[in-house]
Structure 1
Amino acid sequence: MHKGDVPHGWIGRGQWIPMIGYRLLVVGLISGWLLTVAAPRADELTDLLTGKKEEAATASEQVISAGNSEKDDAKIRKRLQTIYAEIHGLKGLSVRVSGGIVFLSGEVESAATETMALAFARKVEGVVKVENTISVNRELQPRLRAMWGKIVKLAQQVLVGLPLFLLALFILALFWITGRWLAARQGLFRRIAPNHFIAHLLGQLTHVSFVIAGLVMALSLLDATALLSTILGAAGIIGLAVGFAVRDTVENYIASILLSLRNPFEVSDFVDIDGHQGSVIKLTSRATILLSPDGNHVRIPNAAVFKAVIVNYTRNRERRFEFDVGVDTDQDLPAAQSLALRTLLAVTGVLQDPKPLVVVQSLGDSNVILRCYAWIDQMQVDLLKVRSEAIRAVKSAFDHAGIVMPEPIYKVRLFDADALAAASADRDAGVHAGRQPKVRRTADAVKPVATGDVSVDRTIEDKVKASGADDAADNLLSADAAREL
């Protein structure tokens, strides 16, 4: 199997989550349709399987009338008999009323039917109390017949609603396929997106939008839009929990989008990101890859890159370097500065504009520090090479002009006074006998200095290209993206 081949039936990394989400949507749609169709019979099926149901709340307290007659009892009995005669399962109940008290007797199929009979009796005006002597039939055969009848009715309702469900499923599939087809048209999204990453993201958002639109239409057709609110609420809760669990991953992903919209650097730019220096290889959807001057790969999460202080050394063509030179405290400092300045101007690669600069940086214990500044065009010459040549040229010019760059002097204190006096006398005698007077020489002319190779070193740049920086499919850095100034 070749590297780019995908095994049959294989779901690529990053695709299994959308697949599971789509399947959950389909399952939710089917469940919603079944709930919509079967809702009217759900209570009856539950009553059939369990055999009982929680009793309703007791009726509110009533004021008992002082007057009651047999005529009123007859009206109550007649009203209840009329109600029970119209309801299946209550036709066989016997009703007797005396003094506003209703006595119910007979046999019913389930506890739910018994509860319903009691509820009707309590609602009739003039009823003071209901005495229940109803018995529930626990025989198997009647229950099986009742259950089978309910199953048949449920199946009939399902068959009646099946065309509507199939139409809703067809609408969802149509929107799903249309969204997927549009998401695959990357050429369309590349016209408005700066790189492949944003184009792919827009395609995924388009696909999800079509799926959601199809789901809403399908549920509306089934009159189950309330189920959509439940699904969205559950999805929101799950998304919130997952967001907290993978907060760093989500932060990196969002940072990748923001960095790809406005690239802070380009491929091969030499940058410093929170102390990590290197040439940019690529910006992926998770991290920024640098190639250090030592040839090592440095991977920095995009969330850290987005929040970091980034120093881009390549953005401007002109770049300044500096180095320090120490001279003796007895030297003529203006002459030494003038010589160093003229030497820098003579070094190949050093720009005449902006001009080099030599300043007195500090006064040391035994020398004076001169700091030299010079500018180069880093597109034409190499910074390290020009800096090396500048240091060598200034050193050679100072040696030729007799400008002393002294070594550090250390003083040693002896605590024996006699030995210290003898040693001091011997040292003074030796110094006066062997020391030559210091000669102060001027620096009127600059001796020509041979300049070495200062051409740009392309080693790191070649390694960056070899690392796959030009792979547009995986690199979010694009020439079409906006640039941060």
Structure 2
Amino acid sequence: MFILTLSPYSHADAINDLLTENTAADKSSDNKIISLNHTEKSDRLIEKRLHKIYSEMDDLKGLRVYVSNGIATLEGELDSSASEKKALQFANQMEEVIEVKNNLQVSHNATKRLQKTFTKLTALAEQAISSLPIIFLAFFVFWIFWVTGRWVSNKNSLYRRITINPFIADLLGKIIHLTFIIIGIVLALSLLDATALLGTILGAAGIFGLAIGFAVRDTVENFIASLLLSIRNPFEVNDVVSIDSHQGQVVRLTPRATILLSFDGNHIRIPNATVYKAIITNFSRKPERRFEFDISVGVDQDLSYAQGLVLKTLDEMPGILQEPKCQVIVHELGNSSVIVRIYCWINQQEVSLGKVRSEAIKAVKQAFDEAHIALPNPVYDIHISRDKAGYSASHHQKININNKTAIDHEIQDVAADHTLTQQIDQENVAFSDENLLDSHSEKEL
């Protein structure tokens, strides 16, 4: 309750100060201790001291000062409010001055103000003329560093020797040029004795850069992503890749986007920030690539013979690698057919994946026709019977297979396929330093 009672009075004091235009300088006298030994001689000493101070300043000359019992009265005409505040401040700082009465008037005479402004401009012009040699020297120093930095930054052959790609080399040259420019600015400001201005410039540049950074955040993100992609190099020109569900061949990597050429001949432009975050499948990183296709076999056919016939046919086909060998597996059992899936490997640097796959399908189809292995059609059995025992299932005559010797014992091989494991192991030998996975570490459940 005590605090609430005092609160209105504190607000009243603040409002009173605002209405009476009390300044900080006026309030400084409130803290002074009033002396009991003040005399008329002390008043004359204060007057004399203030007259001497005011007479030393061009904008305070001619002021009249009267002091009585420690209360100083200032009279006169000044050119500006700044001069008025200065005069009041000096009077308040005098020892034994209790209060200052302000009878000063600020002149609004246009002639006097023009004369004062002209005097200031004349002084500034004289100062600038006297500073011309040092200004020219500062500009010359800055120009020397700017030209030198540009000459050094153009040494692209040197930077390409010490960097991993031309993009980094070009970026390094620009950073060196910017460094020379900053050094030139600092030296020029030092010659002009304006190093304090450098802090202001850097502060403003920081705020401006922060604002620009928010405005062009996507552009900056793409640029940083392009820098990281150029360092990591996840793909090269003409590589067949899949990025964020887009497939095609890599055309180029720019500071903003990765350009792909789709298999339909269309250009696909993907922002580098998206590329860096996306799952990238590079089909061209290794020359070996596997293709697959399915073929249907009738449920009444000899599946082992069919598998062996496919292996023999593809083994003689050009473009298909002998190692790793082709695989023929029974993939699925349908209502009226058995789905057989074929896997084969090619060297995509020498042959076309699409063409080899097409020829492989044609060759298997032709081999099945010659062996009288018909591709099945949907079969519907209609049962008409008066009683449960009246139906006898018909027996489909199997195709007479005479060439059983073509079936290889590898058809029954069910051992694990370590082809990809061997390829991964070989690659990890060359890039063991980049692998962060450790088989001996604790595994996540």
TM-score scaled to structure 1, two decimals?
Answer: 0.71
Partners of 1:352 and 1:124 in 2: how far apart? Answer: 107
Instruction: Mark the CA change 1:247 to 1:143 in structure 2 (over 3 Å): closer, same or farther.
Output: closer
Structure 1's 358 and 146: CA in aligned 2 closer, same or farther, altered over 3 A?
A: closer
Distance (Å, rounded) in 1 between the aligned partners of 2:276 and 2:382: 55
Between stretches 54-63 and 228-237, larger displacement belongs to 54-63
Alignment pair present for 1:222 and 2:192: yes
Runs of 4+ aligned structure 1 residues displaced above 6 Å come to none
Partner SS, residue 360 of structure 2: helix
In structure 2, C-alpha distance between the alignment counterparts of 1:318 and 1:161, rounded to whole Å:
74
Deviations 1:22-50 (A, max 9, x none): xxxxxxxxxxxxxxxxxxxxxxxxxxxxx
Cα RMSD of the aligned pairs, angstroms, is: 3.1
1:242 aligns with 2:202: no
Task: Return the structure number with greater relative CO, CA threshold 8 A, min gap 6.
Answer: 1
Q: Assess, with a 3 A threshold, how the Cα gap between structure 1 residues 291 and 411 changes in structure 2: closer, same or farther.
A: farther
Partner of 2:99: 129
Inter-partner Cα distance in structure 2 for 1:55 and 1:280: 73
Aligned to 1:371: 341
1:246-302 deviation per Cα after TM superposition (whole angstroms, max 9, x unaligned): 222222222222222232222222222222222222223332222222333322222
> Cα 1:446–1:390, aligned 2, differ >3 Å: closer, same or farther?
farther
For residues 251-400 of structure 1, what are the structure 2 equivalents within 5 Å? 251-400=221-370
Change (3 A) 1:374 1:141: closer
Amino acid at match of 1:85: S
Counterpart selection for 2:117 from 129, 147, 162: 147
**Contact 1:85–1:91 (8 Å) recurs in 2:** yes
Verify the 8 A CA contact 1:331 1:440 in the aligned structure 2: no
CA distance in 2, matches of 1:294, 1:136: 83
In the alignment, the residues of structure 1 paired with residue 206 and residue 234 of structure 2 have an alpha-carbon distance, to the nearest angstrom, of 34
Q: CA deviation at 1:126?
A: 0.9
CA separation of 1:347/1:161 partners in 2, compared to 1, >3 Å: closer, same or farther?
Answer: same
Size of the alignment, in residue pairs? 385
| Counterpart position of 1:437 | 397
Partner residue of 1:18?
A: none
- Which residue does 2:203 correspond to in 1? 233
Structure 2 equivalent of residue 461 of structure 1: none
Q: Which amino acid aligns with 1:365?
A: N
Measure, in 2, the Cα distance between the counterparts of 1:112 and 1:378.
85
1:87 aligns with 2:57: yes
In the alignment, the residues of structure 2 paired with residue 137 and residue 248 of structure 1 have an alpha-carbon distance, to the nearest angstrom, of 57
**Code of the aligned partner of 1:368:** V
Q: Report the CA distance shift for 1:299/1:93 in structure 2 as closer, same or farther (over 3 A).
A: closer
Structure 1 residue 188 corresponds to structure 2 residue 161 = no
How far the C-alpha of 1:139 sits from its partner, in A, is: 4.0
The answer on whether the counterparts of 2:310 and 2:328 sit within 8 Å (CA) in structure 1 is yes
Where in structure 2 are there 5+ consecutive unaligned residues?
Answer: 1-21, 408-433, 436-445
The 3-state SS of whatever aligns with 1:79 is helix
Q: Label 1:388 to 1:170 Cα distance change in 2 as closer, same or farther (>3 A).
A: same
Other structure's SS at 1:58 match: helix
Distance in 2, Cα, partners of 1:270 & 1:141: 82
Matched-pair contact (CA < 8 Å) for 2:301–2:398: no
2 CA distance for matches of 1:374 and 1:304?
A: 33
Tell me, yes or no, if the aligned pair for 1:55 and 1:115 is still in contact at 8 Å: no
> Is 1:72 aligned to 2:42, yes or no?
yes
Q: What letter corresponds to residue 373 of structure 1 in structure 2?
A: Y
CA contact (8 A) 2:373 2:399 kept: no
Deviation at 1:125, TM superposition (A): 0.8
More displaced 10-residue stretch of structure 1: 103-112 or 93-102:
103-112
**2:18 corresponds to which residue?**
none
Stretch of structure 1 that moved more, 81-90 or 302-311:
81-90
Q: Which amino acid aligns with 1:375?
A: W
Matched ranges for 1:447-466 at <5 A: none
How far apart, CA to CA, are the structure 2 residues paired with 1:306 and 1:179? 33
Report the alpha carbon displacement of residue 121 of structure 1 after superposing the two structures with TM.
Answer: 1.7
Matched residues in 2 for 1:379 and 1:138: separation?
90
CA–CA distance in structure 1, aligned partners of residues 372 and 300 of structure 2: 12
Kept after mapping to 1: 8 A contact 2:317/2:360: yes
- Following the alignment from structure 2 to structure 1, what is the Cα–Cα distance between the partners of residues 370 and 58? 123
**Residue aligned with 1:154, SS:** helix
Tell me which residue corresponds to 2:7: none
Identity score, percent: 54
